[in-house]
Amino acid sequence: MGEVTIRLRHGERIYSGHAANTDIIVASAYAYINALNRLYTALQSGASIHPQRSEKVPAGTGV
């Protein structure tokens, strides 16, 4: 079983997605889609859904 966690940064917010599957490529795709869905929902509602961080994230920190 492979587990994948992906973090996407949009502006000053980070949105994470998580998935597990026996195929690591499939798990990666599901995790990415999960993170994109969280980002999309936040953009549509004007608020964030469980952001990874609420403070500002400096650019170039590798996060």
**pLDDT tens, 51-63?**
555 444 455 544 4
Alpha helices in the chain (DSSP H): 24-45
**pLDDT tens, 9-24?**
998 899 999 999 999 9
pTM: 0.70
Distances (CA, A) of 55 to 7, 14, 15, 52: 15, 10, 13, 9
Domain boundaries, the chain: 2-45
Q: Which residues, at least 6 apart from 17, have a Cβ–Cβ distance to it below 8 Å? A: 5, 6, 8, 30, 31, 32, 33, 34, 35, 36, 37, 38
Length of the chain as a residue count: 63
